[in-house]
Amino acid sequence: MSPTDMPPANSGSAQDPARPPRPCPICGKPRNADVAPFCSSRCRDRDLMRWLDDGYAIPGRPASTTGPDGTDAREAFDDDEG
């Protein structure tokens, strides 16, 4: 057997079988090379907004357990088990 005995990989297909084109992750349309992996700048912005919306901190601090005096409002956890 010789490596030159192998049949040609290309059977006249225009697309590359090794790298199948993936659709836009936002809407599923064929992606655009200019805004890959999205199909358009619109979808790209949508994805960006989604990231920002998810990553940005919520305005206003979360409820703190500290009282107005600065002391811990929580009572001491007295575990008297046994």
Block residue for tokens 């990553």: 55
Binding status of residue 27 toward Zn ion by CB under 5 A: yes
* Stretch in the footprint of Zn ion (CB under 5 A) among 8-16, 29-37, 58-66, 74-82: 29-37
Cα separation, 48 vs 38, whole angstroms: 11
24 touching Zn ion, by CB under 5 A: yes
Shortest Å, Cβ 38 to Zn ion? 5
In the complex, which residues of this chain contact Zn ion (CB under 5 A)?
24, 26-27, 29, 39, 43
